[in-house]
Amino acid sequence: MNPTDEQTAAADAFRAGNHLALQAGAGTGKTTTLTLLAHATTRHGRYLAYNRAIAQDARARFPNTVQCKTAHALAYAAVGHRYTRRLNAPRRPAWQTGQALGITKTLRIGEREVTQKALSNATLRTITRFCHTADEAITRHHVPRLRGLEDTDLHAELAAHIVPFARKAWADLQHPEDGAVRYDHDHYLKAWALTQPRIQADFLLLDEAQDTNPVVEQIFLNQRDHVQLVMVGDSAQAIYHWRGAKDVMTGFDGTQLTLSQSFRFGPDLAAEANRWLHLADAPIRLTGTPAVPTELGPVSQPDAVLCRTNVGAMAQVMTLMAAKYRVALAGGGDSLQALALAARDLKEGRRTHHPELILFPSWGDLQDYASHDPAGRDLQPLVNLVDTHGTDAILTAVTQLAPEPHAQVTVSTAHKAKGREWPRVLIADDFARAKDDISDDQDAPSPPGPIDDAEARLAYVAVTRTRRRLDLGGLSWIHDHPDGTSTDRNWPHPHALHQPADVSEAGERGQ
């Protein structure tokens, strides 16, 4: 392929030895660009992949002067191999691990009774959260917030109880031969990071930089004095903040360049993507490829239905199966099965170990929480789904899921759809906003609430998964929202270095 002007500019900056941050929009060929950089030099480098599958694919595309590995693979070679015996240990229930650490009693916090099992589960989740950070020690902010204990004072009381046990668990994980806590891959990655490792290479390429955990960010940035750093990603696709990921591209000290020419879709879809990029205050706008005539309009037989939540995905699976479609679920049905089993436990009067529902003693208690507590409103769709269909019907649907190659339609959350694409995509109803409240005079509706960055970024990911046709479906409300119909008059932003050729046209079309 002939490189675009943007790709040529990136190659020139790379050859000049600059630290480089490359903002690459959806479908703009970011991995192709990285391979272009690697082939343009005889120096030796390393490519840090987001997961093992990406690393394996990259090995076939990069020259043999570049080692393609995950951060975990580097950490295993340096530290993790010492813990092989513990990595292969059998799984054990969290409550047994907690008991071995000394967690033996129930704790009363506010109106909630936190069982020994819930405390054990929270302790292990604290370790996981600590391992994703760049912090040197476990503190209260690593303790997860539990449903029903969202209040700051209640969480502080929980954290004061959990932190000593979490520190004891981390100390247990330092023993290579044996211990009470099951050893995980994130444990040796964190242990390696704490040694402040030095990676031997001439340049280091970091892919999917917008979703990098702080622990990997720390390892990467610490190489700055002796390695040329190149990161590529899309800040507008930073949708994993809720699990500790951090967009390391923002504020990176280096040459900032963009890839804005999307080869996945045409100008009409690029205009829709730019609407959400504007709302997310993103540093790029996209240009579509005219030879790819992507359409926006109704889709009666989608290849993929994209949902905002797991519960929304569960509802779509049920609806499509009732209409006799062969349905696949991206990532498999384990998460849906776990939710349904948790709901069944509560309905039958048993507590559940599911981390989202672990503090609720009964289904009625969860129903009240979802209906009346503002912190629990996102659980209302789960309650409605279970009360409408029953847990047995949901569990049966999970067992009837088809493998993706044999399915007529794939259901996915937007999170799991990242990095993927389909010909025809429908956006599910759970992206829709609640009806606007009526003002005090009962005559006129209140103005719609603002669209926050996280909402806009997730919508941007969802609408850019298609090649041929997109049905906005649950996101159609954007056409009636004042922020969604405003023009992008302030583009380009002062910090943006590249203006796509069709920005003025997109602005005239209401983007």
Q: What is the pLDDT of residues 409-433, one digit of tens each?
A: 999 999 999 888 999 999 999 898 8
Give kind and range of the element (H or E) at residue 123: helix 116-131
Rounded Cα distance between 424 and 409, Å, is 10
User: How do residues 35-57 score in pLDDT, each as one tens digit?
Assistant: 999 998 999 999 998 788 888 88
Per-residue model confidence (pLDDT) at position 79: 95
Rounded Cα distance between 357 and 361, Å, is 9
Per-residue model confidence (pLDDT) at position 444: 56
Rounded Cα distance between 317 and 401, Å, is 8
Per-residue model confidence (pLDDT) at position 195: 96
Closest CA to 46 of 31, 26, 65, 29: 65
Per-residue model confidence (pLDDT) at position 341: 94
Per-residue model confidence (pLDDT) at position 510: 28
Give kind and range of the element (H or E) at residue 274: helix 267-279
**For residue 499, how many other CB atoms are within 10 A of its CB?**
14
Residues in the chain predicted with pLDDT less than 50, given as ranges, are: 436-441, 489, 493-511
Radius of gyration for the chain, computed over Cα atoms and rounded to the nearest angstrom: 24
Rounded Cα distance between 330 and 413, Å, is 8
Per-residue model confidence (pLDDT) at position 247: 64
Per-residue model confidence (pLDDT) at position 511: 26
Location of structure tokens 């993103």: 282
Rounded Cα distance between 209 and 250, Å, is 10
Closest CA to 343 of 333, 329, 332, 353: 353
Query: Looking at this protein, which amino acid is placed at residue 172?
Result: D
Residues paired with residue 109 on neighbouring β-strands, in sequence order:
112
**8 Å CB contact between 472 and 430:** no
Per-residue model confidence (pLDDT) at position 245: 56
Closest CA to 125 of 86, 148, 98, 106: 98
Residues paired with residue 295 on neighbouring β-strands, in sequence order:
469
Q: Name 307's Cβ contacts closer than 8 Å, sequence gap at least 6.
A: 313, 315, 316, 411, 412, 413, 414, 428, 430, 431
User: 3-class DSSP state for residue 66?
Assistant: strand
Rounded Cα distance between 362 and 370, Å, is 13
Cα 281 from chain centroid?
19
DSSP string, 370-401: HHH-GGGGGGHHHHHHHHHH-HHHHHHHHHTP
Is the overall model pTM greater than 0.75, yes or no?
Answer: yes
Residues paired with residue 255 on neighbouring β-strands, in sequence order:
20
Per-residue model confidence (pLDDT) at position 347: 93
